[in-house]
Amino acid sequence: MTIAQHLESVRTVSVRHCRSVPAGFRRCGDLGWRIGPVSVDIVHPFDGGSISDSAVVGSLVGLVDAGVIAGQRQFEDAAVQMIRSAASTEAGSWAAFYDNSITELRDGGSPFGPVHARARSLVVGDSLLEVGSCFGFLALQCAEDGFEVSACDISPGAVEHLRAAARRRQTPLRAVVGDATDLPFDTDAVDTVTLIHLLEHLDEQATVRALTEALRVARRRVVVAVPFEEHPSEHFGHLIQLTLDDLAAWAGQVEHDGVELFTHLGGWMVLTPVARRSV
């Protein structure tokens, strides 16, 4: 049976910490792997000093490229297990993951750092909502920069991890579970709404609903960023390949008072909501 054929039948991935690649495992970058009888077995060297979002994503993308793991479920299962096993306790592992990731995002050690820096530079006003926050690294950075921040994600697990990180870092932040297409926030609730690397996960109908909702909740600005890829990254859950023309087409399907489109490590769209006047 080939690796590709085995991957079709494998239901799980199994990840553990190991300082060096054991005998019987193949090396792929920092990781070791082997095909077990019921799982893809992976070992990683990351500990509390080195575990971070960029370390996890970069190493697992290597396994995707090598054909060892496939699909969003296996990628996310492997990522969570890698994070949980980095330190002596699960709480310590998550704390190190958050602290190291935010440090790397701020000091340029993460490839995604420039995207977050550009997003933060586009925030206007005193309050913002990050839609599709996932682990909430951008929301935490903005809150620690002094903004009044809310975060929203469809995953209860991601929201709970963000809440725990905010409590531990003593960062005032509101995190809630919610769908981008039906935001649990009042009209004109915040100055800026961000959707950073979210819309590539949605089909066109859901994208238009998400933009409409963001424009409803934002008083002053909606900031959108998407990756430009030759092929949608299935392991990240990306559904569509995007260009600046797609962003322009989306802007044409929602009501707004102005749009700016530009490229910077992907595509960006800044929308101005229609001013709402009380009767």
pLDDT at 40 over 70: yes
Model confidence at 261, in pLDDT bands (50, 70, 90)?
A: very high
pLDDT at res. 277: 54
Tens digits of per-residue pLDDT, 116-132?
999 999 999 999 999 99
CA-closest candidate to residue 214, choices 165, 247, 181: 181
pLDDT at res. 233: 83
Amino acid identity, position 80: V
Stretch (H or E) spanning 16 = strand 12-17
Phi, psi angle pair for 207, to nearest 5°: -60, -45
pLDDT at 154 over 90: yes
Amino acid identity, position 163: R
pLDDT at res. 278: 47
- Which three-class secondary structure state does DSSP give residue 206? helix
DSSP state of 274: P
- The Cα 70–Cα 235 span in angstroms is 6
